Structure 1
Amino acid sequence: MSEFHLDARLARDSDLVLVFELCQLRILNDSRWPWLMLVPQRPDKTEIFELEPQDQAVLAEEVSRVAEALKRVTGAGKINIGALGNVVSQLHVHVVARSEGDPNWPGPIWGFGSAVTYDEAARKTFLSAIIQAL
């Protein structure tokens, strides 16, 4: 069995927040949207259905926990959840807070404009609130 390794592009575009039972919780380095990502720590997985049934259940629970915390912290009108993997095939799930009037609302976030890095104080405040909400 091979060992879990985080895809280099996911590592470059995000930072580790904490580790759950199954997934790494990561924050995307783009302040335009409150944007988190869960990466199941299982090697060679590209699709949810490739996970063992127990891991699928744990993933669903972890995604729900993060989505609920993100909605509570941001007050967003909508939480977008997606496991696209068209560019990075390693299984990962995006959890993004969206609100009317945010950049590119109601369009998709992918491929829109350029990432805007976080102000370090705002990033720290956001992450503290997320961790507390979890």
Structure 2
Amino acid sequence: MSDFVLDPRLEQDSRFIADLPLCQVRLMNDARYAWVLLIPRRQDTVEVFDLDDSDQSQLWREATGLGQALKQQVAGDKLNLATLGNVVSQLHVHVVVRKRGDDAWPGPIWGHGQARPYHSEVMSETLERLQTMIASLRSSLE
């Protein structure tokens, strides 16, 4: 996995949280939503079917496990999981916990308004909270 290279747009729009067995986990820099990305640390993956069966299963475990924990942590109403890739082709899964009344509810978050970047102190606190949450999940995702 040493040849993994993160797309520069994903790097620019998000902050590193942690590595799971398959994926790098990153926080999208938009404080309007509880929104993380899972990026499989595999080169040349654009579609889920580019991963072997084992990695596909691992991706699903990581997405659903992280999504469930994040939904519980923020007392969300709905978990959204999506792989779009129309702008950034590198395979990445959006894990977004939605709350009734959020800026885009009930519509999709993509293309709705302008991102509201985290203030640096809130970003640090959020990253620390997510790192703690992921550390407690790690054994169930391996």
Q: TM-score range by the shorter chain?
A: over 0.9
Match of 1:80 in 2: 80
Match of 1:26 in 2: 26
2:80–2:97 Cα contact (<8 Å) kept = yes
User: Does residue 1:63 correspond to 2:41, yes or no?
Assistant: no
How far apart are residue 126 of structure 1 and its match?
2.5
Match of 1:16 in 2: 16
How far apart are residue 4 of structure 1 and its match?
1.9
Match of 1:41 in 2: 41
Q: Which runs of 5+ in 1 are unaligned?
A: none
Match of 1:7 in 2: 7
Q: Which runs of 5+ in 2 are unaligned?
A: 135-142
How many equivalent residue pairs?
133
Secondary structure of the corresponding residue to residue 42 of structure 1: coil
- Which amino acid in 2 is paired with 1:67? G
**After the TM superposition, which parts of structure 1 deviate over 3 Å for at least 4 consecutive aligned residues?**
none
1:73–1:129 Cα contact (<8 Å) kept = no
- Which amino acid in 2 is paired with 1:122? V
Task: Tell me the distance in 2 between the aligned counterparts of 1:12 and 1:18.
Answer: 16
Task: Tell me the distance in 1 between the aligned counterparts of 2:82 and 2:118.
Answer: 22
* Structure 1 stretch displaced more, 21-30 or 121-130: 121-130
Match of 1:102 in 2: 102
1:32–1:115 Cα contact (<8 Å) kept = yes
How far apart are residue 64 of structure 1 and its match?
1.4
How far apart are residue 3 of structure 1 and its match?
2.6
* Structure 1 stretch displaced more, 115-124 or 85-94: 115-124
1:69–1:130 Cα contact (<8 Å) kept = no
- Which amino acid in 2 is paired with 1:45? T
Please tell me the root mean square deviation across aligned C-alpha atoms, in Å. Answer: 1.4
1:72–1:133 Cα contact (<8 Å) kept = no
Task: Tell me the distance in 2 between the aligned counterparts of 1:79 and 1:120.
Answer: 26
- Which amino acid in 1 is paired with 2:110? W
1:26–1:38 Cα contact (<8 Å) kept = yes
How far apart are residue 77 of structure 1 and its match?
0.2
